[in-house]
Amino acid sequence: MNDKIGGAGRDLTVRVKTARKRSTSSTRWLQRQLNDPYVAAARREGYRSRAAYKLLEIDDQHHLLRKGARVLDLGATPGGWTQVCVARTGAGKVLAVDINEMDAVAGAQFMQIDFLSPEAPERIRTALGGDVDIVLSDMASPATGHRMTDHARIIALCDLAYEFACEVLAPGGTFCAKVLQGGTEAKLLIRMKQMFTRVQHVKPKASRADSKEIYVLATGFRGSILVE
């Protein structure tokens, strides 16, 4: 990843005045967006979200997205991670799945489905032509502002994504999902370590410094039987 992402020109800061109908928190969010180099880079380089740079950095460090790999992007909307997957693995082997609609990404398939539905595993295998090599999840539930509640919700999503990954992954496969600092719940980590040869946390630079967001990366899937 280029350390000078977003440009290395003048150090300008855009300041936003609080409008009558805009809350202080909304003003802070807008100012942060306007001054975020990853937001500017995503706009310039054609990525649908700044989140693309998180996956780019994770892949630069850990080399997940090899050419020809079958990749499943869970909760893919708006498609930034899907774009990275296509660029790194090649067209035709990337499947984006979301319960919501998503504009097509060139070189990727899209399936609008709840991945928790009974038919989802078989439909996904059929679409990709076999078991999946890499399952990615950048899913997050809407923030409530209550730390423990937000942590519990995102761990629950990670847990669901992990169990689904164990249904569709090929031996040797990889799982990467978003959690929050404060720790992935001990029970889930123990289960992951039983099913993968290596489990670690990663924090890409594109993840904002003031965010508790972090990713759990599990590699070397051992098999398809879940360990309780």
Reference 162, options 147, 180, 176, 148; nearest CA is 176
Q: What contacts 13, CB < 8 A, 6 or more positions away? A: 35
- Residue 184 pLDDT grade (very low, low, confident, very high; cuts 50, 70, 90): low
Q: What share of the chain is helix, strand, coil (3-state, %, to 5)?
A: 35, 20, 45
Task: Note the pLDDT of residue 12.
Answer: 42
The matching CATH number, chosen from 3.30.160.20, 3.30.70.980, 3.40.50.150, 3.40.50.300, for 48-221 is 3.40.50.150
Annotated catalytic sites, by residue?
178
Query: Among 54, 48, 50, which Cα is nearest to 38's?
Result: 50
Question: What is the β-pairing status of strands 213-221 and 169-180?
Answer: antiparallel
Helices (H) and strands (E) in the chain, counts: 7, 7
pLDDT interval class at 181 (50, 70, 90): confident
36 with 50: CB under 8 angstroms?
yes
Average pLDDT over residues 84-91: 94
CA distance 84 to 90: 10
Query: Which stretch of DSSP H or E encloses residue 202?
Result: strand 196-202
Least confident of 8-22, 28-42, 63-77, 134-148: 8-22
Residue 70, CB-side half-sphere exposure with 13 Å CA sphere: 17
Helix 120-128 to helix 147-168 angle, to the nearest 10 degrees? 60
User: What's the pLDDT tens digit per position in 123-168?
Assistant: 999 999 999 999 999 997 666 667 677 777 888 899 999 999 999 9
* 3-state DSSP of 21-77: CCCHHHHHHHHHHHCCHHHHHHHHHCCCCCCHHHHHHHHHHHCCCCCCCCEEEECCC
Confidence of residue 212 (pLDDT cuts 50, 70, 90): confident
Spacing of C-alpha 139 from chain mean position: 6
Q: Look at residues 112, 147, 115, 144 and name the one whose alpha carbon lies nearest to residue 132.
A: 115
